[in-house]
Amino acid sequence: NGTNVGIGNTNTSYTLDVTGTGRFTGNLNAAAFLGNLYTNTWYAGSGSTLSLRTAASGVIADFSPTNSNILGFVGINGSTASGAALSVYDQTSGSEQLRLCNSTGSGYWGIGRENNITGNLYFNSGGSLKVVFAASGNVGIGTSSPLGRFDVYRAAGLSGTAAIVISSGESSPARNWSLNTEVVDAGDFAICVSTTTGGTPSPTGANAKLRILSDGTLLIGGASSAGAYNLSLGNATANTYYQVR
């Protein structure tokens, strides 16, 4: 068809157009520049290796059913040359650049660099944010905007879940401890302990051994904010500064 050649077809707009399966027993060479290479089905025979080469001995990549190897730097989804063994570029704000999936893809962990503005690195599970490494150096768990070097965020409705747990591997009577907020009163901070060896130090009033209220009141030993204080410091309501009971 003029300067075009069709094999297995009579109407082609390509320099070489093969309809059906092609076979090359030798190398398939591009003299200078290899443009777009695409197909609906591209495979190496069973048990064999599919190689990309710049010359007979210049292997760029080998693909086989059991082992694949790529030599040099590789860039994915980017328009600039890769500066590392593997560079994955983010073209969409907030998109994941890597997913670690189960066999069906229904459960996964996603890893991504947020965007060109913040540059945060985040990890999510099934699309739900879990950990953020901010470009500022701050680390957030459960929050995309950590307020300090290490920020653990406990969302509303998770009052029964400890924020930070310090576990012990010792035998009885060893206990596990936790650091928490919003345990009994709004705005309080509490250190809680488990009731059994290896147990969960749930953030409850019964498990709280030390609480600091938002007004500065300090409660130790399971004291209640209702007035039965073991120790109270700076309680403006009771007009006392130090009280032991």
pLDDT-derived band at 201, boundaries 50, 70, 90: very high
In this model, does residue 76 exceed pLDDT 60? yes
pLDDT-derived band at 150, boundaries 50, 70, 90: very high
- Rounded distance, CA 151 to CA 3, Å? 67
Distance of CA 124 to the CA centre of its chain: 4
Q: Which of 59-68, 134-143, 211-220, 223-232 has the lowest mean pLDDT?
A: 223-232
pLDDT tens-digit series, residues 95-142: 678 888 888 878 888 888 876 556 788 898 888 888 999 989 999 998
| pLDDT mean over 8-12 | 86
SS3 content of the chain, % helix, strand, coil (to 5): 0, 35, 65
pLDDT-derived band at 234, boundaries 50, 70, 90: very low
Tell me 145's DSSP state: S
Task: Give the tokens for residue 43.
Answer: 């495979």
At which residue do the structure tokens 């059994």 appear? Answer: 196
Q: Which residue has the higher pLDDT, 227 or 4?
A: 4
